Structures are given as structure tokens and as C-alpha cells.
Amino acid sequence: MNIPSQTLSVNTTLSRAKSYAKKGQLDEAQQLYLSVLETHPQNQQAKKGRKALQKGQVNKKNSYGPPQAQIDAVSSLYSQGQVQEALSASETLIKDYPNTPLLYNISGACYQALGPPDAAVKSFEQALVIKPDYANAKWNLALSQLVTGSFKARWLNYESRLQRKDIELERHYPRPFWDGSSLVGKTLFLYPEQGMGIRFNLFVM
């Protein structure tokens, strides 16, 4: 069976467009799809290909964070005590850059100060969905969980303090951490690493 040369040309063009798209060369793929639609405006493969490209371009845009100047501006508002303004600014940026964990960490910190605590927890959890190893967000989540009464989860997330780069904690006692098992016949050693008030407060809880 002979295949019309026009059909072969369309199929070849669509194949090349798909190949460009897979390589991330979205502009080239877009031009090829458009060239097909100029002569075959009802071609479903070309229509679907363009739609997929447009979606991919949006996802690609949103995968990047906002300009550093905008991040600095929001952080400055928070540092200067303008927490409500920082919250509004961070939530505005989140709409344009929903995949930036730092923005959720900032909004969570604002909610920690302004309330409600559950909103802070939600923000920090979203930051960790995007970046599971985000130590600062996990630490902040632990502090918020202390307020909301989620003590078990709080203790697990509190361990993130050991991964924070802005906190220097050295543990010189070469023994394993207590895993919560029975202490019958055993001795529990309390190892100091933070302020006395904090240690006693956490121990009582």
C-alpha cells in the first residue's frame, strides 16, 4: 500500500516535534507543530502536542524560584518585624512560584508569629513535600507542632536540629540515642546541648 507523500511528511514532522520535546527543545517542537497545523488545522496529534508543550512550559517556569531580590525583600520585611507584610508578599510569590520551599518556610514563620498555628504547620509541611530534607522547615515544623500538641511528631522532627547549618551542636558522648523503649534496668543519660531553660522544659514534657 502506498502512503501519500503529504501524509509521510506530516508524520515525519510530528515525529521530529516529539523528539525535540523530549530533548527539552520546546521552541523547536512548537514551530514544527504549528507548521503541521497550518496545513492540517484539525490534526489531533499536533493539537495535543502543542497543549502538552504549553503545560510543560508552565511547569518549567514554576520549577524555578523567584529572583533573589524578591526573596531578600520578603526576608527583610520579616526581619524588620513587618510580619503581616512579609506574609502577604510570600503568599503572592507562592502563586507564581508554587514549587519554592523557601517561600512556604517564610510564610510558615509568619503564621508562627501571627497565628493560627495550624496554618504554620501546613506551610512547613508543604515546604517538606517539595524538599523532604529541608532541615530548617522541619525544625520550624517541630516548633509549631509543640504548640498544636502533636508531641510525638514534634520529637521526630526536632532531630532536624542536628542537620541545621546555622546551629553548631557537637555530641561527644559515644552512646546511641534512646529509641523510646523501656528503661527498666537501664540508665538514661541526659546530654546537654542547648540552654538550661529549654532543656528542662523539653524534659518535663
Q: Which of 32, 62, 92 is the C-terminal boundary of a domain?
A: 62
Is 189 domain-assigned?
no
Distances in Å between the Cα of 32 and the Cα atoms of 5, 11, 39, 53, 75 are 17, 11, 12, 12, 44
Whether 74 and 166 map to the same domain: the answer is yes
pLDDT of residue 26: 74
Across the range 184-201, mean pLDDT stands at 64
pTM (two decimals)? 0.54
Outline where 97-182 has alpha helix (H).
101-114, 117-130, 135-148, 151-158
Half-sphere exposure of 117 toward its Cβ, with a 13 Å CA cutoff?
11
pLDDT of residue 31: 86
Q: What is the pLDDT of residue 25?
A: 75
Q: Are residues 164 and 104 in the same domain?
A: yes
Structure confidence by residue, pLDDT tens digits, 126-139: 988 888 888 888 87
CA distances from 58 to 22, 52, 54, 114 (A): 16, 10, 6, 33
Sign of the dihedral defined by the CA atoms of residues 165, 166, 170, 175, in that order: negative
- Residue 88 forms part of a structural domain: yes
Max mean pLDDT range (3-12, 54-63, 140-149)? 140-149
pLDDT of residue 37: 86
Q: How far apart are CA 104 and CA 24, in angstroms?
A: 28
Residues 145 and 90 in one domain: yes
Side-chain-facing half-sphere of 97: CA atoms under 13 Å:
18
Task: Using the predicted structure, report yes or no on whether residue 8 has a pLDDT greater than 70.
Answer: no
**Do residue 26 and residue 119 come from a single domain?**
no
> Contact at 8 Å (CB) between 161 and 199?
no
| Predicted pLDDT of residue 76 | 93
Q: Between 134 and 160, name the one with better pLDDT.
A: 134
CA distance 154 to 57: 38
CB atoms within 10 A of CB 185: 5
Structural domains in the chain (count): 2
Look at residue 185 and tell me if it is in a domain. no
Its domain, for residue 90, covers 68-173
pLDDT tens string 34-93: 888 888 888 888 888 888 877 655 445 445 678 888 889 999 999 999 999 999 999 999
C-alpha to C-alpha distance for 20 and 26, rounded to whole angstroms: 7
**DSSP label at residue 184:** T
Grid cell 504554620 in the structure block, residue: 120
- Asked whether the predicted pLDDT for residue 23 surpasses 80, the reply is no
- pLDDT tops 70 at residue 5: no
- The CA distance from 197 to 141, in Å, is 20
91-98: average pLDDT: 89
